[in-house]
Structure 1
């Protein structure tokens, strides 16, 4: 490539587009799939809790839910929403005290942070 051609390519300007322009909008089907997947994850988590399995196993189910959501939905917004939803559902339904967003265990903030990542 000649020097003149390199300068032309280097100095070319492109219109800047907002970030939202690149984001694929999820459909209603994607939202319903996300809600369904995390409802199933919560039911499995409640079953695991009845079987006296550890919280680590339940967290793994929610992480699997985020993975499945990222595979079956378009874009990444449902996956990000699913990540937050998994933390809220785990905290609300599966930590002591139940049906609240309080936690008594010292390590849960770290667990929630890892689940979000």
Structure 2
């Protein structure tokens, strides 16, 4: 199921796979691109690993299209609620935490910019 979710992610253009968009803290290469404003944030992301792409897709299903305030308030509790965290290596759990921090940082940036 995770791999299928990852395959559904729209691909990033090679021009978006930059150092600025690279997510640090992941074992795999992951790029995150944010757009929108404080009222409605949109996230796109890609990875070079199939399972990681699926994990990204799960996170984006929850966070994409939300307001910056909501993104900042939300915690990725659903990962443990569904028991997924027990099936992931500590490296993958750390990567999810890094992705969550990046999404929150993008939200904070939009709020600080006033929209």
TM-score clears 0.5 = no
TM-score by length of 1: 0.39
* Greater C-alpha Rg: 1
Of the two structures, which has the highest relative contact order with CA contacts closer than 8 Å and spacing of 6 or more? 2
Which protein is richer in helix relative to its size?
A: 1
Indicate the structure with greater strand content: 2
